[in-house]
Structure 1
């Protein structure tokens, strides 16, 4: 099982994604989030086909289509975190942290 923790930034909402796969293609998902907009997504997104999600173009994957239905902010890192969890759980990528760092430069 893979666990992905997403701290979304200034909104302060945390999301935890747990992804597991028995056949290295289909992932079962458990998603917990503080974000009120994404709570309905957690009820709808319980499984995913890693090949369809991880090899789709951005905006064409089922995860991004579902996120577009509920997510109010296009810079939200949660959909990416979900796909990162799926790919690691299914062996399509090694589990490795990803990061976005934002700092003012004077």
Structure 2
């Protein structure tokens, strides 16, 4: 089977940090992850999730390795970071368990201006 590789660029928002997530899989199940970020907290996730089993991750949901690593690592205001969701999505896409579609969060004030 061919090695599948994917890369995603995640703009975390107001902090200004841009995270790159690289994922590869040779069997559409085991995924090797590499997280490149100027955010030291996000960068620490590399220690906990260098490789994950995509089927196990999906089966365990929020009890999987990715979400457990996030719970150990991200505290305080970082708990609302969108990067972990991006990491999970990259894992799904590289294993063909999800389609590669961009996602966004848009904010509007009561006046409709941001």
TM-score, scaled relative to structure 1: 0.90
Tell me, in whole angstroms, the C-alpha distance in 2 between the residues paired with 1:81 and 1:8.
10
The structure with more helix, counted as a fraction of residues: 2
> How many residues are aligned here?
105
Root-mean-square deviation (Å): 1.3
C-alpha deviation, 1:23, in angstroms? 0.4
The structure having more radius of gyration, on CA atoms, is: 2
Partner SS, residue 7 of structure 2: strand
Tell me, in whole angstroms, the C-alpha distance in 2 between the residues paired with 1:90 and 1:15.
20
Tell me, in whole angstroms, the C-alpha distance in 1 between the residues paired with 2:58 and 2:16.
27
Runs (4 or more) in structure 1 with deviation over 2 Å come to 54-57
Long gaps (5+) in structure 2: none
Long gaps (5+) in structure 1: none
Aligned partner of 1:77 in structure 2 is 82
